[in-house]
Amino acid sequence: MLTTMSLEEFGAVLASDAPAPGGGSVAALSGAVGAGLIAMVCRLSIGKKGCEAFTEELTKTVPKADALAAGLLRRVDLDTEAFNSVMAAFKLPKQTDEEKAKRTAAIQDGYKEAVQSPIAIASECVAVLELSRNLLGKSNPNALSDLGVASQQAYAGLEGAIMNVKINLPSIKDENFKSEISTELVQLLKQGREAKEQVYQFVSDNL
């Protein structure tokens, strides 16, 4: 599993000529790092002077951030597995008409899986961005830059995940599926961008 590797090992396999892990796994990792920072900011804020009024909200945010971090870390491996399913489908036999039909169906299923994986990553990165936005003015000022970095990491994960959707979407023949996914992408990007810009502005104004 990728997530059990050391940073050096992960970096080496990422830089190799293996097609996976790739951008999708890195997008998930970026979101996970952002969520981890959110949890850290909360823990550095609970009980601190000036944050007393927000203790309940900060305390409730910690498990949410921890869960998102853990979920996105799992998606580092899941995204690679999804891509590998496409590669496996292309290797299926195609000698007879029946084999060709099965291979074509498997390829289409693989591409849908390869699209659903980064969609899930994008959605969870938006959730991280919303947590960061909800903490504005409620967290330890000494961790303000960490809150800003959390937002930037989550947004990078969002944009990266969306790119991984877009590169696979044209290979899918199901037009209804493609239309639904495209609509979802627009909504996720709009929500994520708004949150990221609000956090960036607040952090920049208060550093």
Cα torsion for 163, 149, 136, 120, to the nearest 10°?
Answer: 30
Mean pLDDT of 157-183: 95
Cα torsion for 74, 80, 86, 91, to the nearest 10°?
Answer: -130
pLDDT at 21 over 90: no
Look at the alpha carbons of 153, 195, 160, 105 in this order and tell me if their dihedral is positive or negative: positive
Per residue in 185-206, pLDDT (tens digit) is: 999 999 999 999 999 999 999 9
pLDDT at 19 over 80: no
Q: Residue 161 corresponds to which tokens in the numbers above?
A: 């995940």
The DSSP code for 118 is H
Residue 191 CA to residue 198 CA, distance in Å, equals: 11
Per residue in 30-86, pLDDT (tens digit) is: 999 999 999 999 999 999 999 999 999 999 999 999 999 999 999 998 877 877 888
- Predicted TM-score of the model (pTM): 0.91
pLDDT at 168 over 80: yes
Which domains, from first to last, does the chain contain?
21-206 (1.20.120.680)
Q: What is the pLDDT of residue 10?
A: 87
Mean pLDDT of 113-124: 93
pLDDT band at 174 (very low <50, low <70, confident <90, very high): very high
Nearest CA-CA partner of 133 in 32, 65, 48, 187:
65
Residue 136 CA to residue 148 CA, distance in Å, equals: 10
pLDDT at 89 over 80: yes
Q: What is the pLDDT of residue 176?
A: 96
